[in-house]
Structure 1
Amino acid sequence: MFLLNNNALHRRPLDPIDAETLGTAGADTVERFLAHRDNHLATPLHAFPALAGELGLGAIHIKDEGFRLGLGSFKALGGAYAVFRLVLEEAERRLGRPVDVADLDRPDVRAVAAGMTVACATDGNHGRSVAQGAQLVGAKAAIFVHAGVSEERIAAIARYGAEIIRVDGNYDDSVRQAAEVSAEKGWTVVSDTSWPGYERIPGLVMQGYTAIVREALRQLPQPPTHVFVQAGVGGIAAAVAGHLAIVLGEARPTFIVVEPARAACVVAAARAGRVVKVAHDQPTVMAMLECYEASPVAWRVLARVADAFMTVDEDEAVAVMRRLARPAGGDPAIVSGESGGVGLAGLIRAVTDNSAALGLDGQSRVLLINTEGATDPHRYTELVGQSPADVLAGKVPVGALS
């Protein structure tokens, strides 16, 4: 499936609230918060000249979020950041004085945090970020996990002291239950998807992701001409596309959203011109992207600043995991989880099927984001045929040279 953005809002300015959330001032705030994280480092940006030559492109760069804040995914930037912001706002209200990120370890601020419970639904990575953020500030966390979340991912969340609440059904079912239970118990929902009347906190989560774009633009030798980013509910895609549109203006790159064919809720929104729920059929191997209804806030941004929408199949996602683990021509190896390399899968498909429509040629400079490392190491090893450690160590699997 490939669809150019023919929505009436395409290339119109962002809504003022979204421009404020995803703009320069918001990104400045994110960087100020990150400076207070003990393990914050900019994630690496890798050049892939051999792959670019093979695909007939000028350059390919991949921003590798597998190293982000010890959580192995870009989600580390969103959930924890939103938790920090919400705790500080509540402390400011209760204490009656200004409170900033430097005050998070003050006893009076931690006493406020100790009385708060933050909650969310997750496919795995967002829940880890919320749980980690809660642990760091001294709040409690309740994380709702649906039937498709692997035991390894659940254990990784529980390690941060979160209460795990299991939900029958899929991600969208867990979102609903998290909202209902939290309303009953007075918990604060820190969701990465939005719904009518609930937009500010998902906006804060998206704001956290702007750090990826800001780092990448500093690391790149030239701004990209094309950006392919994968989508679940659309938050990361909207954050990247929105920030690029604000800081680069008319020079912004062509932006393509990539989804699993089995869970293409953003494509469905693009086709309908509004958020719609797609049917749940077979689960997708791209577990972190298995969402069946786009976030309205994310769609509001993408309707304006995404240029095309496309899907990839199951085998394409697994093929890029293996390709990144065993690159050709001296390109670097990257550990990419089931959902991490979906943007690359989209690029490979687009070069074959849609290069003219997207203006992909020998002058194109493409930016991709590896959104997760091996957040489920056992599943990664099953799919790739190598452990994450062996990939990073450059070990060649048995039979690969035969």
Structure 2
Amino acid sequence: MFMLNPNPDYRKALDPADAETLSVAEAREVERFLGFRQGHKPTPLVSLPALARELRVGAIRIKDEGHRLGLRSFKALGGSYAVIRLVLEEAGKQLGRKVDISEVQSPEVKAVAEKITVSCATDGNHGRSVAQGAQLVGANCAIFVHSGVSDERIAAIASFGAKMIRVEGNYDDSVAEATRTAEANGWTTVSDTSWPGYERVPSLVMQGYTALMSEALREMPEPPTHAFVQAGVGGIAAAVAGHFSVLYGDKRPFLTVVDPARAACLFESAKAGRAVKVEHGEATVMAMLECYEPSLVAWRILSRAADAFMTVDEEDAISVMNRLARPTGGDPAVVAGESGGVGLAALIKVAKDENLRAAAGLTETSRIFLINTEGATDPALYEKLVGISPDQLAA
């Protein structure tokens, strides 16, 4: 399903707070902060010229977050950055002065950090990022995972020293339990989704995602004309849409938000004209996108700055994993997890349908920006779906 943005606030200016969060100045500061993490470096921007010719567009470039700092996900940016910011702010309060990122390993900051516990609910990737940030600054960390999170993903989070807490039910159930427990224990919730009265921390998480935008835009000879960005609660899509809006205003790229058909909370919100919660049904293979209620901050941005909303099916996600693993025409292979290639799956559906091409304004000169939001974060499942291990493919 494909739908142009029908909301009455479409193309209105961003809320001033959101515009500041996703500004160029803040994006530069994000990169400075993240540069203090050991091993931090830009991820590749991969060009797919053969696929572009097949889909009758000018260029396809995909930012490959499967290489992000060992976590194999763009979420290595947001949660980690938010934890660092929050700990430094608390240190500043206790020390009575502004504390810079350059002091993150100082004894004074460590003494503050070791008394802080950060926590969140996760499908896998966000929790790893929060745990990694906590490990960097020396804070304690508790991560809540629902019953659908695989043992491999749980082990990957625990490797950063986090206490793991299992919750029966789905992602939304784990969010509720994480919030309740954090309030009872005085922990700091570092969530990538927002709700009434809880917006600043998710905004910091989104702000962390601007690092990948800064990296990508520096490499592009020209800005993109179109972007297809997958969404769970909407954080990464809102970060991209909002940053484009700040940079380019009315000349920003045409941005399509992509949901799994089985968890289409943003598509349904666009249709309803307000943020809505959708019913939980059969699980989707796109596990990192299996969210049933949008982040309010993300929805506020996307209702204004997204141009279209669409859904893709289970077979689309699996097909594009295989397509990226076995490219034709000399294109490089890309290891994309179950949720990683969803933006490309949407592009393929739109590009091959003349009516949808016209609706999205796709032409033979269009320059497409995509994000491989995750690599093989569950290697065993990747091999099952693609027929080759990620290590073999990388080799």
Residue 283 (structure 1) aligns with: 283
Give the aligned residue type for 1:184.
A
Q: CA deviation at 1:87?
A: 0.2
Q: CA deviation at 1:50?
A: 0.4
- CA distance in structure 2 between the partners assigned to 1:169 and 1:152 by the alignment: 18
User: Partner of 2:68: helix, strand, or coil?
Assistant: helix
- CA offsets, 1:4-58, max 9 Å, x none? 1011111110000100101112102101102212211111001111000111111
- CA distance in structure 2 between the partners assigned to 1:157 and 1:322 by the alignment: 27
Residue 160 (structure 2) aligns with: 160
- CA offsets, 1:178-206, max 9 Å, x none? 00000000000000000000000000000
- CA distance in structure 2 between the partners assigned to 1:350 and 1:173 by the alignment: 34
- CA distance in structure 2 between the partners assigned to 1:308 and 1:322 by the alignment: 26
- CA distance in structure 2 between the partners assigned to 1:382 and 1:286 by the alignment: 14
- CA offsets, 1:76-108, max 9 Å, x none? 000000000000000011111221100110111
- CA distance in structure 1 between the partners assigned to 2:8 and 2:279 by the alignment: 26
1:269 has 2:282 as partner: no
Residue 309 (structure 2) aligns with: 309
1:197 has 2:178 as partner: no
Give the aligned residue type for 2:275.
V
Residue 246 (structure 1) aligns with: 246
Residue 384 (structure 2) aligns with: 382
Residue 110 (structure 1) aligns with: 110
Residue 296 (structure 1) aligns with: 296
User: Partner of 2:224: helix, strand, or coil?
Assistant: coil
- Where do residues 70-85 of structure 1 align in structure 2 (5 Å cutoff)? 70-85=70-85
- CA distance in structure 2 between the partners assigned to 1:24 and 1:136 by the alignment: 26
Residue 366 (structure 1) aligns with: 368
- CA distance in structure 2 between the partners assigned to 1:35 and 1:189 by the alignment: 24
- CA distance in structure 2 between the partners assigned to 1:323 and 1:56 by the alignment: 17
- CA distance in structure 2 between the partners assigned to 1:57 and 1:24 by the alignment: 29
- Where do residues 3-402 of structure 1 align in structure 2 (5 Å cutoff)? 3-353=3-353, 354-393=356-395
8 Å Cα contact 2:119-2:142 kept in structure 1: yes
- CA distance in structure 2 between the partners assigned to 1:26 and 1:179 by the alignment: 28
User: Partner of 1:46: helix, strand, or coil?
Assistant: strand
* Sequence identity (%): 67
Greater mean deviation of Cα atoms: 259-268 or 241-250: 241-250
Gaps of at least 5 residues in structure 2 are none
- CA distance in structure 2 between the partners assigned to 1:32 and 1:59 by the alignment: 30
- CA distance in structure 2 between the partners assigned to 1:36 and 1:381 by the alignment: 34
- CA offsets, 1:238-286, max 9 Å, x none? 0011001111122210000011000000001101111111011100000
- Please report the TM-score for the alignment, with normalisation by the length of structure 2: 0.99
Give the aligned residue type for 1:305.
A
User: Number of paired residues?
Assistant: 393
Q: CA deviation at 1:377?
A: 0.4
8 Å Cα contact 2:225-2:253 kept in structure 1: yes
- CA offsets, 1:345-376, max 9 Å, x none? 00001112310101111011101000000000
Pairwise CA RMSD:
0.7
8 Å Cα contact 2:257-2:308 kept in structure 1: yes
Residue 396 (structure 1) aligns with: none
Give the aligned residue type for 2:357.
S
- CA distance in structure 2 between the partners assigned to 1:319 and 1:361 by the alignment: 24
User: Partner of 1:40: helix, strand, or coil?
Assistant: coil
After TM superposition, the runs of 4+ consecutive aligned structure 1 residues lying more than 6 A away are none
- CA offsets, 1:129-173, max 9 Å, x none? 000100111000000000010100000000011000000110011
- CA distance in structure 1 between the partners assigned to 2:331 and 2:132 by the alignment: 33
- CA distance in structure 2 between the partners assigned to 1:375 and 1:140 by the alignment: 24
